[in-house]
Amino acid sequence: MEFQELNEFFKARGFGRKIGFGKYPAVVVVDVIPAFTNPELPLGANLDQEIYQIRRILEATRSMDVPIFYTTVAYEDRDLHDAGIWALKQSGVMTLQAGTPEVEIDPRLGRLPGEAVLVKKYASAFFGTDLLSRLNTLRVDTLILTGCTTSGCVRATAVDGLQYGFRVMVVEEAVGDRAELAHKQSLFDLNAKYADVVSVDDVVEYCASNLKSGF
């Protein structure tokens, strides 16, 4: 079945209902680092357009003092013991060595001082980090989710976000993948079961209409 036909099939069975934005959002930018944004590297892909769209979201949310969190993946052990079994599955993790430029936040995002960077070892931004406690302290109820890859770390973060009780908004133009088919399938599945797939314009309008600076 084509995605449109599948969407109707799932919708008829009660999937894909809208969660909607809450009152207290945070932006999570997943793994937008050169290791993933340089298409010449093993784990990389051309994410120029996605970075442009993420910047639009950052500009809209910064003006409202919305909390912004970035994640990166970095391994400190030269033998990659801190990558665990994952290192057996994909050799590209060799490009994720701590202290190298490949694991720094892509400078095109223009990260500002005070915008937190969380270092993770695995897919979800929640696993092995203090993201949950940070969000709870800020009373966040909505995650505006961007970054890469749609089928990997974005998806894992979205599923965990829902399981922790957050309204997860995956921004369609602001997430990317190495494979278009994996990207589209993941967006379909996330929208059906775990998150709302929204547009950048939806986020910008939400910020302008519902948020006050310094919320």
First to last CA, the chain: 44
Q: Exposed (0-12), middle (13-18) or buried (19+): which is 118, by Cβ within 10 Å?
A: middle
Q: What separation in angstroms does the CA of 39 have from each of 14, 45, 46? A: 39, 4, 5
Q: Any bridge partners for residue 139, and if so which?
A: none
Tell me whether residue 153 is one of the annotated catalytic residues. Answer: yes
Cβ–Cβ < 8 Å for 177, 149 = yes
Distance CA 45, CA 12 (A): 36
Tokens of 89: 């599955």
How many residues are there in the chain? Answer: 215
Tokens of 13: 């069975």
Nearest Cα residue to 38 out of 48, 30, 29, 28? 48
Q: Exactly one of 47, 109, 153, 159 is catalytic; name it.
A: 153
Distance CA 62, CA 6 (A): 37
Active-site residues: which are they? 153
